[in-house]
Amino acid sequence: MSWAGFKKSVNRAGTTLLQKTGQIERTVDRQYEDEEAKYRVFEKECQALQKDSKAYWDAMRSMTAAQGRIADTLETFYSAADRNSEGAMAGHAYKRSVDDLDTTFNRELDGPYRTTILEPIGKMCAYFPVVNEHITKRNKKMLDYDSARSKLRKIIDKPSEDPTKLPRAQQEHDENKETFDLLNEQLINELPQLLDLRVPYFDPSFEAMIRMQAKFAEEGYEKLSGVQRYFADNVRDDYAAGQLDAQVESVLQEMRELSICGGN
Total chain residues near other proteins (CB under 8 A): 128
Under rule CB under 8 A, residue 256 binds other proteins: yes
R_g over Cα of the chain: 34
Under rule CB under 8 A, residue 10 binds other proteins: no
Rounded to an integer, what distance in angstroms lies between the CA atom of residue 70 and that of residue 180?
62
Under rule CB under 8 A, residue 199 binds other proteins: yes
- Cα–Cα separations (whole angstroms), residue 259 to 62, 251, 255, 263, 264: 40, 15, 9, 8, 9
Under rule CB under 8 A, residue 241 binds other proteins: no
Cβ at position 2, least distance to other proteins in Å: 13
Quick one: 122 exposed, middle or buried, by C-beta within 10 A (0-12, 13-18, 19+)? middle
Q: Residue 147 in contact with residue 24, Cβ under 8 Å?
A: yes
Categorise residue 2: left if φ over 0, alpha if ψ from -120 to 50, beta otherwise. Answer: beta
Region binding other proteins by CB under 8 A among candidate stretches 4-12, 23-31, 145-153, 207-215: 207-215
Cβ at position 262, least distance to other proteins in Å: 8
Q: Which residues of 208-223 are buried (b: 16+ CB within 10 A; e: fewer)?
A: ebeebeebbeebbeeb
Under rule CB under 8 A, residue 28 binds other proteins: no
DSSP-derived secondary structure letter, 26:
P
User: Closest CB to other proteins among 24 and 78?
Assistant: 78
Under rule CB under 8 A, residue 244 binds other proteins: yes
Under rule CB under 8 A, residue 4 binds other proteins: no
Cβ at position 23, least distance to other proteins in Å: 25
Under rule CB under 8 A, residue 181 binds other proteins: yes
Rounded to an integer, what distance in angstroms lies between the CA atom of residue 143 and that of residue 159?
24
Region binding other proteins by CB under 8 A among candidate stretches 5-13, 18-26, 147-155, 227-235: 227-235
- How far out from the chain centre does Cα 72 lie? 33
Under rule CB under 8 A, residue 116 binds other proteins: yes
Region binding other proteins by CB under 8 A among candidate stretches 4-12, 21-29, 30-38, 146-154: 30-38
Cβ at position 25, least distance to other proteins in Å: 19
Among 48, 142, 154, 233, binds other proteins (CB under 8 A): 48
Under rule CB under 8 A, residue 149 binds other proteins: no
Nearest to 65 by CA among 100, 102, 107, 117: 102
User: Closest CB to other proteins among 22 and 82?
Assistant: 82
Under rule CB under 8 A, residue 9 binds other proteins: no
Rounded to an integer, what distance in angstroms lies between the CA atom of residue 97 and that of residue 45?
38
Q: Residue 77 in contact with residue 188, Cβ under 8 Å?
A: no
- Tell which positions 84-103 bind other proteins, by CB under 8 A: 85, 87-88, 90-91, 94
Among 20, 23, 204, 241, binds other proteins (CB under 8 A): 204
Rounded to an integer, what distance in angstroms lies between the CA atom of residue 13 and that of residue 1?
15
Among 7, 20, 26, 236, binds other proteins (CB under 8 A): 236
